């Protein structure tokens, strides 16, 4: 889908008058409040959120799948779709590949295509949770934690192969998420399974290029329903600590039991310099993979408040984490959903930038609970949408990305190009 700059300008021209009014109002308010709006716009412009190659099609559930048509049929078309998102919002400039769902058969051509679309390759993800056609060993009872050495070796080799693909594309990190675990009490020796995982990860770590990171994702349940080997941030952090200074924990918002205080986990991982990556989504019950910010926007803001404070704090030295959306779309158009998700992330980030960290710290020192809450909620209740729109406008994006997606009838064009019955690889 080729969107011409002239089309974006035309769209923006129609909306700019109203936008100017809204932005002026907010700019005055923020300036009166002591904020540097130019600095805010600069920071929002710089935020880039990677799009996973598996989120561009309709996900479905184990009960059914209702494809919307025009889904990308190969990696090239996926890159095209992310390029479209990036043209519209100028904040989706990275792609995260899942191997073997998206093997770059011709890495040079894939790299060129990504460049043409102004995209870079973020973390590469390994997949040892699904058996592939003609695979000799099965992951039914695990992969890196498996009791059989041959299966562990196969899983290690797969991860090393994923790193090789990543190197060809300029990725700088490997994300490992394991489904390893059990469905019934007694099935597994917890300590032995954990130690086998550590030893397997050590072999992968030994093959990690020096300028790469290993990101270790945790999840309490699913697809295993009694235990997961890397069930929580404690297990992930334990592994990262034992592996070395290029191993980090990765927080996926959906991978927590209901009501877990995720912002507190984020604060402690940053304190330890061990927060390596983030998977954004939202959920009501578990790993629902819903649109970011659609259920718990205040939690998202509180998480961003920790991220902003932690990453900007000169006393701490956590590297900037890899940001990625990790979602599954059952009823919405995946591209519209991703535009909404990126927007929600930028809104939460912009609001977190408004928190007066020094005053908040002072209120905390004085145990002024009411003041602390006021400071957080004043920022959260500010309508920052004009600020986010201004950042997008200055980056040559569309003032209303979802609106423009519909005005240009992008989905209809993709259906004409690719057909109604297309199935994208992924979740």
Give the residues lining the site for Mn ion (CB under 5 A).
252, 279, 287, 326
What would the x/- binding string for ligand LRH be over residues 321 to 360, using CB under 6 A?
Answer: -----x----------------------------------
Looking at beta carbons only, is 117 or 197 nearer to Mn ion?
197
CB 322 within 8 A of CB 278: yes
Give the nearest distance from C-beta 177 to Mn ion in angstroms.
6
**217 is a contact residue toward ligand LRH (CB under 6 A):** yes
In the three-class reduction of DSSP (H, G, I as helix; E, B as strand; rest coil), residue 158 is classed as helix
What would the x/- binding string for ligand LRH be over residues 176 to 205, using CB under 6 A?
Answer: -x----------------------------
Tally the residues of the chain. Answer: 427
Torsion angle, alpha carbons of 346, 349, 355, 361, to 10: 180
Say which entry of ligand LRH, Mn ion, none residue 340 contacts (CB below 5 to 8 A, set by partner kind).
none
Instruction: Give the list of residues 6+ apart from residue 306 with CB closer than 8 angstroms, or none.
Output: 263, 264, 266, 267, 270
Looking at beta carbons only, is 81 or 326 nearer to Mn ion?
326
**54 is a contact residue toward ligand LRH (CB under 6 A):** yes
Say which entry of ligand LRH, Mn ion, none residue 54 contacts (CB below 5 to 8 A, set by partner kind).
ligand LRH
Looking at beta carbons only, is 177 or 205 nearer to ligand LRH?
177
What would the x/- binding string for ligand LRH be over residues 241 to 280, using CB under 6 A?
Answer: -----------x--------------------------x-
Give the nearest distance from C-beta 186 to ligand LRH in angstroms.
25
Give the nearest distance from C-beta 339 to Mn ion in angstroms.
20
Distance CA 121, CA 394 (A): 24
CB 180 within 8 A of CB 228: yes
Instruction: Give the list of residues 6+ apart from residue 215 with CB closer than 8 angstroms, or none.
Output: 123, 173, 174, 175, 176, 248, 249, 250, 276, 277, 322
Say which entry of Mn ion, ligand LRH, none residue 427 contacts (CB below 5 to 8 A, set by partner kind).
ligand LRH
Contact set for ligand LRH, span 123-142 (CB under 6 A): 125
Looking at beta carbons only, is 228 or 305 nearer to ligand LRH?
228
Distance CA 142, CA 229 (A): 10
Looking at beta carbons only, is 327 or 388 nearer to Mn ion?
327
Looking at beta carbons only, is 180 or 287 nearer to Mn ion?
287
Give the nearest distance from C-beta 142 to ligand LRH in angstroms.
15
- What does DSSP say about strands 173-176 and 94-99: parallel, antiparallel, or unpaired? unpaired
Q: Residue 194's closest CA among 150, 228, 157?
A: 228
* Radius of gyration of the chain from its Cα atoms, rounded to whole angstroms: 22
Give the nearest distance from C-beta 89 to ligand LRH in angstroms.
22
Whose CB is nearest to ligand LRH? 177
Torsion angle, alpha carbons of 13, 14, 17, 22, to 10: -110
Say which entry of Mn ion, ligand LRH, none residue 122 contacts (CB below 5 to 8 A, set by partner kind).
none
Cis, peptide link before residue 100, omega less than 30° from 0: yes
Give the nearest distance from C-beta 97 to ligand LRH in angstroms.
11
Say which entry of ligand LRH, Mn ion, none residue 77 contacts (CB below 5 to 8 A, set by partner kind).
none
Cis, peptide link before residue 280, omega less than 30° from 0: no
Say which entry of ligand LRH, Mn ion, none residue 390 contacts (CB below 5 to 8 A, set by partner kind).
none
Give the nearest distance from C-beta 196 to Mn ion in angstroms.
22
CB 197 within 8 A of CB 145: yes
For the chain, report the end-to-end CA distance as a whole number of angstroms. Answer: 24
Kindly state the number of chain residues that form the binding site for ligand LRH, as judged by CB under 6 A: 10
Distances from the Cα of 287 to the Cα of 46, 59, 328, angstroms = 29, 13, 10
Say which entry of Mn ion, ligand LRH, none residue 165 contacts (CB below 5 to 8 A, set by partner kind).
none
Distance CA 384, CA 4 (A): 28
Q: Which residues bind ligand LRH (CB under 6 A)?
A: 54, 125, 177, 217, 219, 252, 279, 287, 326, 427
């Amino acid at each position: 889908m080729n969107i011409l700059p002239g089309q974006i300008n035309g769209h923006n021209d129609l909306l700019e008058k109203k936008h100017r009014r809204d932005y002026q109002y907010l700019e005055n308010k923020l300036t009166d409040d002591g904020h540097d709006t130019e600095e805010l716009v600069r920071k929002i412009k710089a935020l880039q959120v990677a799009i996973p190659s598996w989120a561009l099609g309709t996900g479905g559930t184990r009960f059914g799948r209702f494809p919307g048509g025009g889904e990308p049929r190969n990696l090239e078309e996926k890159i095209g779709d992310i390029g479209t998102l990036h043209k519209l919002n100028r904040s989706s400039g990275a792609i995260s590949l899942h191997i073997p769902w998206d093997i770059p058969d011709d890495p040079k051509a894939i790299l060129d295509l990504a460049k043409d679309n102004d995209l870079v390759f973020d973390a590469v993800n390994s997949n040892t949770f699904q058996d592939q056609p003609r695979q000799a060993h099965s992951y039914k009872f695990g992969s890196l934690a498996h009791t059989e050495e041959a299966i562990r070796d196969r899983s290690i080799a797969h991860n090393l192969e994923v790193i090789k693909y990543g190197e060809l594309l300029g990725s700088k990190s490997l994300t490992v998420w394991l489904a390893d675990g059990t469905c019934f009490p007694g099935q597994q020796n917890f300590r032995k399974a954990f130690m086998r995982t550590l030893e397997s990860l050590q072999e992968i770590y030994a093959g990690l290029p020096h300028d790469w990171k290993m990101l270790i994702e945790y999840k309490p349940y699913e697809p295993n329903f009694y235990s997961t080997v890397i069930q929580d941030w404690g297990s992930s952090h334990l592994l990262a600590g034992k592996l070395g200074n290029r191993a980090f924990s990765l927080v996926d918002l959906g991978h927590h039991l209901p009501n877990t205080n995720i912002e507190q986990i984020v604060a402690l991982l940053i304190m330890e310099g061990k927060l390596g990556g983030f998977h954004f989504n939202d959920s009501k019950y578990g790993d629902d993979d819903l649109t970011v910010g659609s259920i718990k926007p205040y939690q998202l803001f509180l998480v961003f408040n920790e991220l902003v404070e932690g990453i900007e704090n000169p006393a701490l030295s956590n590297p900037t984490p890899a940001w990625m959306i990790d979602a599954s779309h059952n009823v919405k158009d995946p591209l519209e959903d991703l535009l909404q998700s990126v927007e929600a992330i930028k809104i939460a980030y912009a609001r977190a930038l408004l928190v007066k960290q020094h005053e908040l710290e002072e209120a905390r020192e004085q145990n002024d609970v009411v003041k602390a809450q006021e400071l957080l909620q004043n920022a959260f209740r500010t309508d920052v949408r004009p600020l986010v729109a201004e950042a997008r406008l200055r980056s040559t994006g569309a003032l209303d990305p979802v609106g423009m997606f519909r005005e240009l009838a992008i989905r209809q064009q993709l259906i004409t190009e690719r057909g109604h019955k297309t199935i994208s690889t992924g979740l």
